Amino acid sequence: MKRVWLIISVIWLAAMLNSPAQAQLTTVDHFRCYLVPISPVLQVSAQLQDQFDAASGTFENITQLVIQRFCNPVQKTVNGVVTPIVNVNHHLTMFTINAQPIIMRQVVVKNQFGQQTLSTADARILAVPTGKGLPPNPAPAPPTDLDHYKCYAASGPALTNVIANLKDQFISENVAVLRPVLFCNPVKKIHDGVTTGILHPDVHLTCYSTQSSTFGGTTINIRTSL
Cα 93–Cα 209–Cα 151 angle in degrees, nearest 5: 45
pLDDT of residue 153: 97
Name the residue among 45, 61, 60, 77 with its Cα closest to residue 192. 45
pLDDT given at position 51: 97
In this predicted structure, what is the pLDDT of residue 27? 72
Q: Are strands 30-35 and 194-196 parallel, antiparallel or unpaired?
A: unpaired
- pLDDT for the residue numbered 16: 53
Per-residue pLDDT of the chain (226 residues; tens, 9 = 90+): 334 344 444 444 445 554 444 344 447 899 999 999 888 899 999 999 999 999 999 999 999 999 999 999 999 999 999 999 999 999 999 999 999 999 999 999 988 888 999 999 999 999 999 999 999 999 999 999 999 999 999 999 999 999 999 999 999 999 999 999 999 999 999 999 999 999 999 999 999 999 888 888 899 999 998 8
The Cα-based distances of 120 to 101, 109, 155, 173, 179 in angstroms read: 12, 12, 7, 30, 14
Q: For position 4, what pLDDT does the model report?
A: 39
pLDDT value, residue 21: 40
pLDDT number for residue 10: 41
Q: Under a CB-based contact definition with an 8 Å cutoff, are residues 195 and 225 in contact?
A: no
**3-state SS, one letter per residue, for the chain:** CEEEEEEECCEEEEEEEEECCCCCCCCCCEEEEEECCCCCEEEEEEEEECHHHHHHCCCEEEEEEEEEEEEEEEEEEECCEEECCCCCCCEEEEEEECCCCCCCEEEEEEECCEEEEEEEEEEEEEEEEEEEECCCCCCCCCCCCCCEEEEEEEECCCCCCCEEEEECCCCEEEEEEEEEEEEEEEEEEEECCEEECCCCCCCEEEEEEECCCCCCCEEEEEEECC
Closest CA to 166 of 215, 127, 201: 215
Q: Which of 182, 189, 183 is nearest to 144 (CA)?
A: 189
Closest CA to 71 of 39, 31, 35, 36: 31
pLDDT at 213: 86
